[in-house]
Amino acid sequence: MTSLTDRKNAAISRGVGMTTQIYADRAENAEIWDKDGNRYIDFAAGIAVVNTGHRHPKVIAAVKAQLDRFTHTCHQVVPYENYVHLAERLNALAPGDFAKKTIFVTTGAEAVENAVKIARAATGRQAIIAFGGGFHGRTFMGMALTGKVVPYKVGFGAMPADVFHAPFPIELHGVSVEQSLAALKKLFVADVDPGRVAAIILEPVQGEGGFYPAPTVFMKALREICDEHGILLIADEVQTGFARTGKLFAMEHHNIAPDLLTMAKSLAGGFPLAAVTGRAEIMDAPGPGGLGGTYGGSPIGIAAAHAVLDVIEEEQLCDRANQLGNRLKQRLAAIREKTPEIVDIRGPGFMNAVEFNDAKTNLPSADFANKVRLNALAKGLILLTCGVHGNVVRFLAPITIQDEVFAEALDILEASILEARS
């Protein structure tokens, strides 16, 4: 009999990478069972998509109720009230004490693309500034904005023009806030007139780049630079949003409002939905028909998102994220005492990471991080690596994870790290 892996290799492009060879059969909250009945604890959550857990009862109930009414009309043809209501909720919840409007699309990359379109329409400018290590999607504009070549850009030819990058402030890797801001200002002198820049885009916590949080002093400086030059500030909260960092949106940690905010992933708890929310006058810059998409704001995703927002509030998931993150970081700190390869433990709320260097050379060690991942997988714990150097293990378990399952996962994590040293 041909194995599933062989079938996959024969049928699916090799460009679709796979972290594991686990073929899911069913899932519940923070656990997945494969086709052979093996159980795994999920510390990936579909890459930060199921913050409210696999198949949360309220999300599933909302989706089933919507399925019984209608599944697709295309909001641009036959609109529906719950689309409008979700926009109203996000306008009220997004940071900023000003009038806001929202559009719905399908993916995070599509949200980023539309944020750039809106910024250009609103400012009449073309240039966009992003940061090294950032990730903004796999479309052409998403690739251009992304600050990592392999595997995201390699082999795909010329990227869209008028996209510039500045270094992201990461003290651990020798880039201070002052150096990052100086590099940004040097861009204005050497490469692009600030009067041509439509927007600066960044993740409040870099996701694929290694879970590095932007310092508040840096975020405030960006806000000031944007205000000085008439540049829009775009916060890409595709991975950080919806209680992951201990706030509904990570920008709340800085008490700074972006002009545009992109969101996706956990917005709909496992169903495809993304959005851009921003200042009303900016969001209204494109003309009618300039924004939208056939599946944008799917009735199923909209119904799921309403349930997700209810669950986050009712189950106090922002507080829960902080509690779980503190427990995880405390356990990692204890492990660090006997693991010299650990050079950093970080992350707000339950968006946490541990970074590994080689104990002898003190250089980033992707090999050690991958050993930890593989050891954990063999013991039934799904982990993801990330970072420009591939030496970071990130933790994205559902915020609804049961205490006993979380404790089990921490034991597996410790054993996997210590085993990687042998």
Spell out the domains of the chain, with CATH numbers in brackets: 4-56+316-421 (3.90.1150.10), 60-314 (3.40.640.10)
Report the range of poorest mean pLDDT among 146-150, 224-228, 247-251.
Answer: 146-150
Angle between helical axes of 403-420 and 317-336 (0-180°, round to 10): 30
* Cβ 226 vs Cβ 198: under 8 Å: no
What per-residue confidence (pLDDT) applies to 14?
93
What per-residue confidence (pLDDT) applies to 68?
98
| All residues at 6 or more sequence positions from 396 whose CB lies less than 8 Å from its CB, including other chains | 43, 44, 45, 47, 48, 244, 351, 384
Name the one residue in this structure whose structure tokens are 């420009």. Answer: 388
What per-residue confidence (pLDDT) applies to 1?
59
pTM for the model: 0.97
* Cβ 271 vs Cβ 295: under 8 Å: no
Report, as an integer, the average pLDDT of 396-416: 98
Helix (H) / strand (E) element for 313: namely helix 299-314
The confidence band for 422, taking pLDDT boundaries of 50, 70 and 90, is confident
Q: What's the rounded Cα separation, in Å, for the pair 369 and 385?
A: 7
Please report, as a single letter, which amino acid is at residue 78.
V
Between CA 383 and CA 357, with CA 336 as vertex, the angle to 5 degrees is: 70
Q: What's the rounded Cα separation, in Å, for the pair 418 and 323?
A: 25
Report, as an integer, the average pLDDT of 100-118: 98
The confidence band for 3, taking pLDDT boundaries of 50, 70 and 90, is confident
Q: What's the rounded Cα separation, in Å, for the pair 70 and 213?
A: 41
Task: Give the model confidence (pLDDT) of 316-326 as tens digits.
Answer: 999 999 999 99
Task: Give the model confidence (pLDDT) of 153-171 as tens digits.
Answer: 999 999 999 999 999 999 9
By three-state DSSP, how is residue 373 classified? helix
Task: Give the model confidence (pLDDT) of 259-294 as tens digits.
Answer: 999 999 999 999 999 999 999 999 999 999 999 999
Report, as an integer, the average pLDDT of 364-391: 97
- Average pLDDT over all residues of the chain: 97
| All residues at 6 or more sequence positions from 260 whose CB lies less than 8 Å from its CB, including other chains | 115, 118, 119, 199, 232, 233, 234, 235, 276, 277, 278, 279, 282, 283
| All residues at 6 or more sequence positions from 254 whose CB lies less than 8 Å from its CB, including other chains | 204, 214, 216, 219, 220
Task: Give the model confidence (pLDDT) of 17-72 as tens digits.
Answer: 988 989 999 999 999 999 999 999 999 999 999 999 999 999 999 999 999 999 99
